[in-house]
Amino acid sequence: MKIFLSLFVAFLFGGSPLLAIENAPGPGTNSSADHSIESLIDRGTASAEKGDWPEAIKSYEAALAAGHINAHLYYNLATARFRSGQVGQATALLLAARELRPSDPDIRANLKFVHAQTSDQLGVTMVSDQSGVRGTLRAVLGSISLRWWFFFSASSLALAGFLYLCMNVASMTLSDVARQKVAFVLPLIRGAAHASVALSVVFLSCGFASRQMVRTWGAVTAAKVDVFSTAQGNDVSFRLHEGTAFVATSYTGERVEILLMDGKRGYVKALDVRVVRL
Amino acid sequence: MRWNLARIEQRTLSRFTGIAMAMLVAGGVAGVVSDSALAAGTISAELDRTRGTLDDAFQLTITISGKHEGDAPPVEIPGAEVQSAGVSRSMQWVNGTFSSEVQFNYIVRPVQEGRLTVPSIRLKIEGEELATLPIPFDVVPGGSTKPAPNTGNQSPPSPPAAGQIPQGQAPPQQQGGVPNTPADDSALAAKGDFFIERQLSRTRIYAGEAVLATSRIYFAGRLLRANPIRESAPEFRSIAVPGERNYQQIVGGRRFSVIELNEVVIPSRAGELVLPPFAINAVTWTPVARRRGGTGSVWDLFSGSMFDMGKEENRRIASDPSKLTVIALPKEGRPESFSGLVGSFNLSASLDPRQIKFGDTTTLTVRLDGSGALDQAPDLARGLESLGRVYADKADLSESVDMATPDTPLRSTRTQKFALIPGTSGSITVPDVEISVFDPRVDKYVTLKAAPGVVQVEPGGATSPQPGSPAVPAPAPDAVAAAKSDLLPLHAVASLMSMHGMSGRDFLRFGAVGGVPVLLALAAFVWRRRREWLIANSADERRRRARRMLEARESGIREAQDAGDSARAVDLLHASLQEFVGDMTGRHARALTVRELSTEGNAELADRLHKERHAEWNALVKDIDGVKYGTGVGARMWTELHQRVVGISSQFRVSP
């Protein structure tokens, strides 16, 4: 009886936060989304379904500007942009969506389709990502989102805390006889608690690592841009055309340093490109 | 203590003296070795050239390596007058070996034609008689030969091939510059021990034309360090020629070491321009003449101050500014498409591949090379946009200096590639590439042309792109419109609501979710342990107090013993044992029975892991009880009992 009582007490104090994860700001839902973002998304989707692309773009962009980061939002906005004839904008947004949800088939399909409409055809995947340790690591870490990594980490930590709490409550409340009865269980619980802590650390590290590996994608939005060899000079290395994807590596005044899929680097005017920061 | 210090000081002093003596001995050995190295002398004679005219003056140099304190050895040459032209001495300490060198210079003026001979010169150096080899030389009547200007009889390095000058290799003597005549020699020699002379390969050129500037740094002493000072002049562009030439030259009867540096100078505008002087910041070392009358040993060098050997001096040495007449390019015949380039160039253009499929890329390579500067060359791909899409690569420019042609020293090559994606299929003729330049060799404008040729574009091109180059033509607007229907549908609103990223509030929430159970567990752990820690602290405190009480009782027991009151002593011992155990266990001391004393004491001992002392404790309790109530051990044993009590009480260890 005391065993059940002690577990109940432990569950009462330690398990309630664990259960709270279900309703707390988990990866699936955002309970804190305020009404303005919700209404913006509703309005944007409604406009898009009616074919009112400018209005849809306006609403979606406003939601993005409010700090709402969502792969599906980028996806829908990219669709609206593409249907407005803005291939470069659509490419940049789909690249950002893919960065958030690498395994989403819709995003990949639309990105492939939009990229096929561009002229330079330099690809949408970094050569360095296609193989090698870094590429594999990136694929593994990027297979789930940052939010999920933190969710797993917090869950593991909560589980570890719950198990430790159970052990302590049991040792305080159980009699010697009862303690001897459950003696074989205690090492298992202790091992599980230690493992949960270790898992929590691993998940947290994966989260931070995946955060570090997030790329800032962009694409050319002007019909043609000069790619300069330096941040300040006017020495043109080569030219790119609308829709060409790149990774923005740094900002230097009015120019953005870009890294093309084949590894070439250069600087372009920030006004000629769209860079999506995640 | 003072004696010890003095002893230490004495010991240290003797050690120091020993080390100093050892160093002195080592130095002496080194000096002897150096002195013996110095004694191995050599003598050589050198004539600046082996052929000359009756009007020429030859320079003869006799070099003595080793110790020689005497005057210049007498030189007599049949058929020539010999005049002493000074002496120069140098001393060096390299890798622990000392060497000195004396050079005696002579001016030899032939008075008759034919083959003359500098005879063998014999000198006794350090007890050893050494001699030079005879040097024959030919003298012809005046004006029959063109003497080489002061090159010495050390043959200069062979001229390098056209192209980049290798590091350390030197250009040959320039033709067309200001020659070093004997009159110049004396003018140069009047400039002192250190001076710079600069020579331009030409002094009258067109604007944009390159000219070679050769700077020679002459120094008779030792040049320790030198940093060139580049004075910028906006009307000139200069290109430094890598490498330098080092040689020796006799100027005005004195031997100078010469460092020769070259640069290509390109004036950007016409007019009478002045090229700023070539200057260096130099650190020189001038030797001070050794005192005569010494012992002749190498130690004489160190008899005075070290600084007596010579002095370092910071100097700024500069050449004279050079005047340059720069002629403006003629207006007559100047084409409208004149590129601004001046020089003699060749233009070529090629296409590769010449057969492609529609949508594929062919590369047009345009190469412009020749003598002259090409850094300001314009983009050569003009009119190519009409063929399709053109992507220009960055032009590759390489410049080199050809020392074999000092009048036109700069060689440039500019290569530019263009990726061309024809917009139509069929046979496409790529238009000629052309550029207008001014050629100073012919003093007129020249239009260079190159025909890239024809590229065959097959219809139905490949869609597979080439890495780094565009391959698919830009989509037509109607094609984009048609393709729009191929996009996948929009995602639902519900999926748009979730948040991907992590805000600061999210971190807080997740931290709380994970952290609250952990904190609760930690609190429970502390709470559980807290009781144990408090009990442990309380027990420790009781034990300390029991020990103190036992020690306090000890004096009373001794007093009773001294007074012969054994009964009291035993009472006190029994009481102290009771209080000791009572204090430790927190029970009333006087109420403890013998059995309880044994049990509680054993329990304490068990807690303290001294189970082996249980029997001892039990026997002690029993003996005290026996002494007190006269049932066992006699009263005389109380002293032993007391020692046993004190001994066993030490087993009840308490925390410090």
Q: Which of B484, B492, B516 sits opposite A83 (nearest CB)?
A: B484
A191 pLDDT band, cuts 50/70/90, is: very high
**What residues in B contact A171, CB-CB < 8 Å?**
528
- Name the residue with higher pLDDT: B245 or B584: B245
B586 pLDDT band, cuts 50/70/90, is: low
B155 pLDDT band, cuts 50/70/90, is: very low
A119-123, A236-240, B249-253, B334-338, range with the lowest pLDDT: B249-253
Instruction: Provide CB contacts within 8 A for B475, sequence distance 6+.
Output: A117, A119, B483
- Sheet of B97-110: strands edge to edge? B42-47, B58-65, B97-110, B80-94
Distance of CA B327 to the CA centre of its chain: 45
pLDDT at residue B525 is higher than 80: yes
How far apart (Å, rounded) are the C-alpha atoms in residues B110 and B608?
Answer: 119
Sign of the alpha-carbon dihedral angle for B289, B295, B301, B303? negative
A100 pLDDT band, cuts 50/70/90, is: confident
- Name the residue with higher pLDDT: B68 or A182: A182
- B515 interfaces chain A, CB cutoff of 8 Å: yes
- Name the residue with higher pLDDT: B245 or B91: B245
> What is the interface pTM, i.e. ipTM, of the complex?
0.73
Do A7-117 and A217-276 share a fold? Answer: no
CB–CB contact A262 B389 (8 Å):
no
CB–CB contact A72 B499 (8 Å):
no
State the DSSP string of B313-353: EEEEEE---EEEEEEPPPSTT--TTEEEEEEEEEEEEEEE-
**What residues in B contact A18, CB-CB < 8 Å?**
513, 517
Phi-psi region of B636 (alpha: psi -120 to 50; beta: other; left: phi over 0): alpha
A6-15, A140-149, B366-375, range with the lowest pLDDT: A6-15
Closest residue of A to B480, CA-based? Answer: A117
Tell which residue, B269, B419, B443, B465, has the closest CA to residue B344: B443
How far apart (Å, rounded) are the C-alpha atoms in residues B80 and B109?
Answer: 5
Residue boundaries of the structural domains of chain A:
7-117, 120-214, 217-276
**What residues in A contact B471, CB-CB < 8 Å?**
121
Give me A196's structure tokens. 């949960």
Question: Tens of pLDDT along A14-24?
Answer: 444 444 443 44
Give me B318's structure tokens. 């500069």
- Distances, alpha carbon A29 to alpha carbons A32, A77, A230, B88, B516, in Å: 9, 20, 44, 95, 22
Q: If you average pLDDT over every residue of chain A, what do you get?
A: 82
Which one of 1.10.1040.10, 1.25.40.10, 1.10.357.10, 3.40.50.2300 gives the CATH number of domain A7-117?
A: 1.25.40.10
CB–CB contact B514 A109 (8 Å):
no
- B487 interfaces chain A, CB cutoff of 8 Å: yes
CATH superfamily of the A217-276 domain:
SH3 Domains (2.30.30.40)
CB–CB contact A117 B527 (8 Å):
no
CB–CB contact B490 A32 (8 Å):
no
pTM of the model: 0.37
pLDDT value, residue A139? 76
* Closest CA–CA distance from residue B403 to any residue of chain A (Å): 31
Mutation site for B-interface testing, chosen from A73, A87, A125, A155 by largest number of B Cβ within 10 Å? A73
B147 pLDDT band, cuts 50/70/90, is: very low
- B393 interfaces chain A, CB cutoff of 8 Å: yes
pLDDT value, residue B451? 86
How far apart (Å, rounded) are the C-alpha atoms in residues B143 and B585?
Answer: 131
CB–CB contact A117 B475 (8 Å):
yes
pLDDT at residue A73 is higher than 90: yes
pLDDT value, residue B305? 42
- B500 interfaces chain A, CB cutoff of 8 Å: yes
pLDDT at residue B2 is higher than 70: no
Q: If you average pLDDT over every residue of chain B, what do you get?
A: 71
CB–CB contact B512 A17 (8 Å):
yes
pLDDT at residue B532 is higher than 80: no
How far apart (Å, rounded) are the C-alpha atoms in residues B467 and A123?
Answer: 9
How far apart (Å, rounded) are the C-alpha atoms in residues B78 and B139?
Answer: 12
- Distances, alpha carbon B220 to alpha carbons B47, B149, B255, in Å: 18, 19, 6
Mutation site for A-interface testing, chosen from B463, B490, B508 by largest number of A Cβ within 10 Å? B490
Count how many residues are written for chain B: 656
Question: Tens of pLDDT along B17-67?
Answer: 455 445 544 444 444 444 444 445 788 888 888 888 887 788 888 888 776
- Name the residue with higher pLDDT: B156 or A11: A11
Strand B51-53 versus strand B135-140 pairing type: parallel
* Closest CA–CA distance from residue A30 to any residue of chain B (Å): 5
- Name the residue with higher pLDDT: B30 or B519: B519
pLDDT value, residue A11? 52
**What residues in B contact A51, CB-CB < 8 Å?**
none
**What residues in B contact A264, CB-CB < 8 Å?**
468
